[in-house]
């Protein structure tokens, strides 16, 4: 009989500085942030990068469903909730205290019809279920910045199996971590090489996008046009992301292909 996993025992702390509220897991390492005057905005650069999938899949009705592995301060969940009203959001978070903190101190909406938080292990959830999602975002770390079972080949293979035909996986990787190259290789193996690794942002976080379904073949000019639209409609500025992508990636015929 399988025993139920107990939630992590690490502390969940909050700090504030210069109008920004931060989430910590028993250390100074930031697990999430919210500018108090702009609670719906993506304060941390890497969270903005994780929404770059919106540049890769066109159309006004993508994604219709999103799975977030790791809640943190709820930044991604709130952004999707606010700006993608057709999208239904499922969050898997291993620590019930994190959900409580996100609701009490980081303005996570209470709307079960559109936003569901499931308390459980993200790897178990992915391996055990069958429901498919358009957008899977993986951002789960312990206090020591380790992803553990969320950075294994079986987990990434399970992610691929849980994507819709137009689905994208986005994974937050620590680009300056010594295990970074091995993490990317596991994603490449799971997705038959169909991966785009975006150049690291200032924080050192690197976002990898992968798909196993419909090909991505998006022109740079289309990405820029979509980024301009997103900036006007949501204040999300992904134009610097596109500039770094050009510098760090060979793009044959001006298209990003996955």
- Catalytic residue (choose from 121, 134, 139, 151): 139
Active site residue 142: no
Side-chain half-sphere CA neighbours of 142 within 13 A:
12
Q: Tokens 């930044």 map to which residue?
A: 75
Strands 20-24 and 30-35: antiparallel
Whole-angstrom Cα distance, residue 203 to residue 165?
32
Whole-angstrom Cα distance, residue 13 to residue 192?
40
Which uninterrupted H or E stretch holds 165?
A: strand 163-174
Q: Identify which of 189, 226, 180, 167 has the alpha carbon closest to the alpha carbon of residue 207.
A: 180
Side-chain half-sphere CA neighbours of 232 within 13 A:
6
Report whether 198 contacts 245 (CB < 8 A).
Answer: yes
Residues annotated as catalytic are 139
């Amino acid at each position: 009989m399988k025993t139920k996993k107990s939630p992590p025992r690490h502390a969940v702390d909050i700090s504030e500085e210069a109008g920004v509220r931060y989430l910590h897991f028993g250390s100074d390492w930031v697990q999430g942030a919210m500018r108090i005057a702009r609670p719906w905005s993506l304060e941390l650069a890497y969270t903005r990068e994780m929404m770059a999938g919106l540049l890769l899949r066109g159309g006004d009705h993508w994604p219709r469903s999103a799975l977030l592995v790791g809640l943190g301060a709820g930044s991604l969940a709130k952004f999707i909730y606010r700006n993608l009203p057709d999208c239904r959001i499922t969050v898997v978070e291993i620590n019930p205290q994190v959900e409580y903190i996100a609701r009490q101190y980081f303005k996570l909406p209470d709307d079960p019809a559109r936003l569901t938080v499931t308390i459980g292990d993200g790897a178990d959830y992915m391996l055990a279920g069958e429901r498919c999602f358009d957008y899977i975002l993986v951002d789960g770390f312990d206090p020591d910045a380790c992803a553990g079972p969320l950075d294994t080949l079986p987990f990434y293979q399970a992610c691929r199996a849980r994507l819709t035909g137009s689905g994208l996986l986005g994974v937050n990787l620590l680009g300056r971590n010594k295990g970074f190259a091995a993490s990317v290789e596991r994603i490449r193996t799971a997705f038959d090489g169909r991966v785009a690794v975006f150049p690291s942002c200032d924080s050192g976080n690197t976002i990898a996008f992968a798909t196993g379904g419909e090909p991505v073949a998006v022109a740079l000019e289309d990405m820029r046009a979509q980024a301009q639209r997103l900036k006007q409609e949501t204040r999300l500025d992904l134009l610097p992301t596109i500039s770094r992508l050009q510098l760090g990636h060979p793009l044959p015929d001006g298209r990003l292909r996955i």
